[in-house]
Structure 1
C-alpha cells in the first residue's frame, strides 16, 4: 500500500514514489513570513502561480490541498479555474495539527486513491 510505504521512506524516495504514481507535489506558497511552524502564522505570502502550472498538465483530474490554509490560498489563486477540477480538501498532515488523529487524517487522504495511476 502506498501510504504505508511512504511513512517509512526518506524524502527522496517519497518524491520518487509520488512521481511513479503520477502525483504532483506543489506548494501554493512561494515565500512568506512566518514565526514558528503553524500555517496560521503565515504573513505577507507570495503565491505560486497555480494557473500557469495546471495549463501544462493536460491530464490533470484533481487538485488536493493539504490543510485549511492551503485551501484558502489555493482556491483564491485558482479562482473560476477550480470549477474545472475535482478539488480535494485534505486534513493537514502537519504534526502541529495534533487535534486530529493519524487515523482520521489517513481516512481523509485515502480519498486520493481513485486518482492513483499504477
Structure 2
C-alpha cells in the first residue's frame, strides 16, 4: 500500500550559494525528521570529508546542518510530496514538485544547484523547465549518495561532488583505483 510522503522545509540561510536537492526523504529520514538519516546513506560522511577532511560527520543533526550552512550550502528536496511504497526513488509517483521560482527569488545568492541522484533532477526539470535556461544558475546532476547506488564508492563520489560543490576535487585526501565517469551536467534548455 502506498504511503503519502511530505518532505521537509529547506535548511538555508541568507549566505547560501549552493543548493543540494534530494528527491524525497527515505522512510527512515521521514521517521527521524532528518535529512539523510539512513545510516548507510553516504551524504553526511561525504559532506564531512569534502568540507572538513574528517572521516566522520558530527553525530548531532543540528551540527550537521550547521556544517553545511557554515559552508554556504543549503539543503532541500525537488519533491514536496508524493506517494511511495518504501524508500526507493523508483517507487515514487504522483509527486508534486517544490516551488523553486519563489524559492530562488527569496534566496538570490543561490547560483549552483546540485541534484543528489537522477530522480531529483528529473523532477526538478519536469516542474521547473524555465529555470534551466537561467544564465546565472549552474546545474550538476550528481550520482546519488543512497546505499542503493553501491557502484559509486565514497572516493568516487567525493571526486565528482567536490568538483560541483567546491569547484575542484579535494586534494590529498582520496585515492581510487578506478576513475569515475562524470555525471552529466543538466542541460540549460
- The TM-score, its normalising length taken from structure 1, stands at 0.86
Task: Mark the structure with the bigger radius of gyration.
Answer: 2
Per-residue CA deviation, residues 1-46 of structure 1 (Å, 9 max, x unaligned), is: 5164484223221100111111111111111111122111111111
The secondary structure found in structure 1 opposite 2:113 is: strand
Which residue, out of 38, 57, 68, partners 1:8?
A: 57
Which residue, out of 68, 72, 78, partners 1:28?
A: 78
2: distance between equivalents of 1:28 and 1:81? 13
Q: Does 1:49 align with 2:99?
A: yes
Give unpaired runs (5+ residues) of structure 2: 1-49, 169-189
Match of 2:133 in 1: 83
The secondary structure found in structure 2 opposite 1:24 is: strand
For residues 97 and 61 of structure 1, do their structure 2 counterparts lie closer, same or farther at Cα, with a shift above 3 Å needed? Answer: same
Q: Indicate if the aligned counterparts of 2:113 and 2:138 stay in contact, CA closer than 8 A.
A: yes
Runs of 4+ in 1 over 6 A off after TM superposition: none
2: distance between equivalents of 1:49 and 1:3? 32
Q: Indicate if the aligned counterparts of 2:142 and 2:160 stay in contact, CA closer than 8 A.
A: yes
For residues 80 and 3 of structure 1, do their structure 2 counterparts lie closer, same or farther at Cα, with a shift above 3 Å needed? Answer: farther
Higher relative contact order (CA 8 A, sep 6+): 2
Q: Which piece of structure 1 moves more, 53-62 or 5-14?
A: 5-14
- The TM-score, its normalising length taken from structure 2, stands at 0.56
1: distance between equivalents of 2:55 and 2:153? 18
Question: How big is the alpha-carbon RMSD for the aligned residues of Structure 1 and Structure 2?
Answer: 1.9
